[in-house]
Structure 1
């Protein structure tokens, strides 16, 4: 596709340098009309819901490196072949897997009561019979880090930073996910025997949110657990009331050597097949639910968008590549354990032919905004995208996208431009990493709106000359 700017803004030569070519107005209008037609066709598709339904029903939870994840990936490769994708392949990489085993948590003093907790991913098992100790409560990660070394000897560190702030863009998550990642290591430095935290979630259900925690120098730290919100409140009230709270925690978690894998499939470009657009999501999920919103939905959205383009009657100029990444949820203890990193290592120098990458990994609720790579805001391309996406409620954002997400982050790090179709995450962290992440939480109408947004935008990029790398260079001020 080639798009026009108002006369006088750019010479033809400078326009080409920015990655655009300018056809006649009628051709420009025709390109947008084709993208709109692809968008409308996507509103009638059912591939996305079919994929999510089959994946979550047949395979259930898909922990990274588990037999379930491996079998789901093999099935997905066949599914993509049946849909008509080309060059479908599975690329495996080594991984240290983690199995939850059995777990329990109990307040043993001052009065016994059961509480609901989930071990954090890759935290080690407790000693046989569990660990029992008094709780020391902190109201932030920083407060824990300020405690002197050795001050928690023989005790359980508990961080309650309050309920996660509910935001449409999910920006309240980072504060609590830092606690989950770094808290166990900080507690270990201070002599603690275990670590607990309020779950990183926006709900008030008696349902904990799991998630991975970090290794230190390639080794696990402490047995670590997330409490459901009501149980976190219960313990905090007891501590604030002057009670000495004593917990017994038990976990039989284990690690094991295994492999994960990326599933890759192409819709080859018509005239420039070496120029690749990556549509990413991830296959693995946490073990408590069935991974419907995190991230079977993303796979369904990106597969369905590419399939709609495939059926449009005209292949776009550039190649569209769907990647179902493995091991997004667990990225340690070695750098071989992340599907995004494995993909970049596998393609080598061909990464220079990657035009742009996008990731769908924020549930299945509606898309409300488009963030383009740096230099994309205010361009004729953005205006064309708005003409296509505006009718389904997707607005242009002036904020550039720099990182993309966990799976395509490694592509961004080596210079591939990334974009985001921002989803409404208002309720996402009610469900995220919990037993409530199940198929019934997906709204089919909102899922389909996602597919339409992806299909319309990707058509515009794939059948165009837009070059986001040169746009980024042009947008960078000279020093």
Structure 2
């Protein structure tokens, strides 16, 4: 019974020590925070960066020629903004080309369907394939199905994506996209179609990454637009067997090297300690990658620039990491963790913007529980921008979600995602979906967060155990 008592005493002692530290140190920055917030809210720098990336580069699938252009663009952009240090770190990625994809109902009611190949899918035979369709409500229903009902057929996973501000509906339905081909092939299917993982009613399919397993046959995988999924469901509801024709021509072209692009503004007194702001540079190849993730690139880059323009630099270095190959499996994030394994202890805290350009409405963190109240006190200025201070269970964003596993504190600055999955991974992901005022609010929130964390004297480690 002594250990809990000792732990409680230690926590109380740390909290007692933090109280004067917080009042004496953290709140000396509030005047600077107010000015920083105001200047960020008035700035159009982030919009100009997002516009530049989507217009001058456009789609930039990892491994593509366009992605090479994006890396050059990012390096030049960070240098033009005056970052003290700009550099690249290599990331090995597979090269996949989409090719063409078409589908049609052969019987009983012949008509075309609109589809998009899922990222990484294999092709059909050159002449295409024809097979009967079997429908499942979700991935679990497919997993539990009798293999005899699937053998030789095209599996149709018809799970709708729920609309939520925090995007949680995506997590409920994305399993069909990621693992549908494996589970369908286990039972002898010849291909898999999924209802697009999206909340829209547009006749545009949502692409996205899917997986194969070495011991399971690789079958073609594609997404139907939501209207076409509705149409196929209505045809199947007539009670007749439905035969589809599917023709897809994606290609795998081996591996190549791309890069994480990194820019730093050096801290004034603790230059070896890092506040990391992340986003991902790559995008899918059908839209121009505006909300996914030119917006994030713009937000974190502009926020760092705003902090650097203050009359006095904060203590810690602010490092902007534009990660490679997020869309095809967090490959840039994994490479970053491996390449920086020896200096993870110097990463004070990290956050990533990868959920569009909606206003930030809530901040969560994952830090030393004993320091949590003081962290919220230091970030209290966010409430002036209608940001709720949340909980201590943050993941940190796409690649940044890898960092708590190696002990790095993280924050999740949560954006309003009510309409994010209307456009996500579609040809409709274009610059007009970005609201400049909402984008500026994101920059202000990230700038205040980055400045306060770069100045903080709080002990953010060890992380809470899960």
TM-score (norm 2): 0.93
Residue in 2 that maps onto 1:369: 362
Q: How far does the alpha carbon of each residue in 1:26-77 deviate from its partner, in whole angstroms, 9 at most, with x for none?
A: x654312212211111112222111110111011111011111121111111
Residue in 1 that maps onto 2:435: 443
Within the candidate set 265, 283, 286, 2:284 is matched to 286
SS in 2 for 1:452: helix
CA contact (8 A) 1:81 1:88 kept: yes
Q: How large is the RMSD of aligned CA atoms in angstroms?
A: 2.1
Matched, 1:355 2:348: yes
Separation (CA, whole Å) in 2 of partners of 1:373 and 1:108:
53
Separation (CA, whole Å) in 2 of partners of 1:253 and 1:408:
30
CA contact (8 A) 1:32 1:460 kept: no
Q: Which runs of 5+ in 2 are unaligned?
A: 1-8
Separation (CA, whole Å) in 1 of partners of 2:339 and 2:27:
39
CA contact (8 A) 1:21 1:465 kept: no
CA contact (8 A) 2:135 2:156 kept: yes
Q: Which runs of 5+ in 1 are unaligned?
A: 1-8, 332-336
Within the candidate set 95, 98, 109, 1:97 is matched to 95
The worse-fitting range, judged by mean Cα deviation, of 237-246 and 208-217 is 237-246
SS in 2 for 1:379: helix
Cα distance change on mapping 1:215 and 1:11 into 2, 3 Å: closer
Residue in 1 that maps onto 2:298: 300
Equivalent residues in 2 for 1:32-51, closer than 5 Å = 32-51=30-49
CA contact (8 A) 2:93 2:258 kept: yes
Within the candidate set 84, 87, 93, 2:85 is matched to 87
Equivalent residues in 2 for 1:23-422, closer than 5 Å = 25=24, 28-149=26-147, 151-161=149-159, 163-217=160-214, 221-256=218-253, 257-331=255-329, 338-374=331-367, 375=369, 379-386=373-380, 388-401=381-394, 403-422=395-414
Cα distance change on mapping 1:219 and 1:29 into 2, 3 Å: same
Residue in 2 that maps onto 1:465: 457
Task: Measure how far apart 1:243 and its partner are.
Answer: 2.3
Cα distance change on mapping 1:348 and 1:24 into 2, 3 Å: closer
Matched, 1:22 2:21: yes
Cα distance change on mapping 1:15 and 1:56 into 2, 3 Å: same
Task: Measure how far apart 1:142 and its partner are.
Answer: 1.1
Separation (CA, whole Å) in 2 of partners of 1:96 and 1:152:
31
Task: Measure how far apart 1:391 and its partner are.
Answer: 1.3
The worse-fitting range, judged by mean Cα deviation, of 300-309 and 341-350 is 341-350
CA contact (8 A) 1:15 1:21 kept: no
SS in 2 for 1:197: strand
Q: How far does the alpha carbon of each residue in 1:322-355 deviate from its partner, in whole angstroms, 9 at most, with x for none?
A: 0000000002xxxxx7000101111121111111
Task: Measure how far apart 1:254 and its partner are.
Answer: 0.7
Separation (CA, whole Å) in 1 of partners of 2:22 and 2:172:
48
Q: How far does the alpha carbon of each residue in 1:117-170 deviate from its partner, in whole angstroms, 9 at most, with x for none?
A: 101000101100211111011111111111233542221011112x21110000
SS in 2 for 1:172: helix
SS in 1 for 2:277: strand
Separation (CA, whole Å) in 1 of partners of 2:429 and 2:334:
26
CA contact (8 A) 2:11 2:370 kept: no
Task: Measure how far apart 1:376 and its partner are.
Answer: 7.2
TM-score (norm 1): 0.91
Separation (CA, whole Å) in 1 of partners of 2:157 and 2:284:
22
CA contact (8 A) 1:281 1:325 kept: yes
Separation (CA, whole Å) in 1 of partners of 2:15 and 2:185:
57
Separation (CA, whole Å) in 2 of partners of 1:458 and 1:358:
9
Cα distance change on mapping 1:274 and 1:28 into 2, 3 Å: closer
Separation (CA, whole Å) in 2 of partners of 1:399 and 1:243:
53
Cα distance change on mapping 1:445 and 1:220 into 2, 3 Å: farther
SS in 1 for 2:89: strand
SS in 2 for 1:357: strand
Separation (CA, whole Å) in 2 of partners of 1:419 and 1:220:
40
CA contact (8 A) 2:274 2:347 kept: yes
Residue in 1 that maps onto 2:5: none
Cα distance change on mapping 1:377 and 1:146 into 2, 3 Å: farther
Task: Measure how far apart 1:422 and its partner are.
Answer: 0.4
Separation (CA, whole Å) in 2 of partners of 1:108 and 1:75:
46
Task: Measure how far apart 1:102 and its partner are.
Answer: 1.1
Cα distance change on mapping 1:290 and 1:377 into 2, 3 Å: farther
